[in-house]
Amino acid sequence: MATVELKDVRKVYGGKVEAVKGVSIDIPDGQMCVLVGPSGCGKSTLLRMIAGLEEITDGTVSIGGQVVNTFGPAERDIAMVFQNYALYPHMKVYDNMAYGLRNRGTPKDEIDRRVREAAGILGLEDFLERKPRELSGGQRQRVAMGRAIVRKPKAFLFDEPLSNLDAKLRGQMRIEIKSLQRSLGVTSVYVTHDQVEAMTLADTLVVMNSGVAEQIDTPLAIYEKPASVFVAGFIGSPAMNLLAGEIAENGRGVKLVGGAYLKPRDTVLPEVGRSVLLGVRPEHLTLVSDANNADFQLKVTTVETLGADTLAHGHPVDGDPKSSELIVRLSGDVQVRHGDVLPLAIDAGKAHMFDAGTGKRI
| Contacts with other proteins, residue ranges (CB under 8 A) | 13, 40, 44-45, 48, 51-55, 72-74, 78-80, 82-91, 99-100, 103-104, 147
Give dist(CA 209, CA 222) in Å, integer: 15
SS3 (DSSP) at 71:
coil
SS3 (DSSP) at 144:
helix
Q: Cβ of residue 304: shortest distance to other proteins, in angstroms?
A: 34
Give dist(CA 279, CA 314) in Å, integer: 15
Distances (CA, A) of 168 to 17, 23, 66, 188, 193: 38, 34, 40, 23, 17
53 or 303, CB closer to other proteins? 53
Distances (CA, A) of 53 to 33, 48, 118, 217, 330: 19, 5, 25, 27, 47
Q: Cβ of residue 147: shortest distance to other proteins, in angstroms?
A: 8
44 or 181, CB closer to other proteins? 44
80 or 135, CB closer to other proteins? 80
Q: Cβ of residue 81: shortest distance to other proteins, in angstroms?
A: 9
Q: Cβ of residue 9: shortest distance to other proteins, in angstroms?
A: 16
84 or 275, CB closer to other proteins? 84
148 or 180, CB closer to other proteins? 148
Q: What are phi and psi of 342, to 5 degrees?
A: -110, 130
Q: Cβ of residue 14: shortest distance to other proteins, in angstroms?
A: 10
Helix ranges (H only) for the chain are 43-51, 93-103, 108-122, 137-149, 167-184, 195-201, 219-224, 229-234
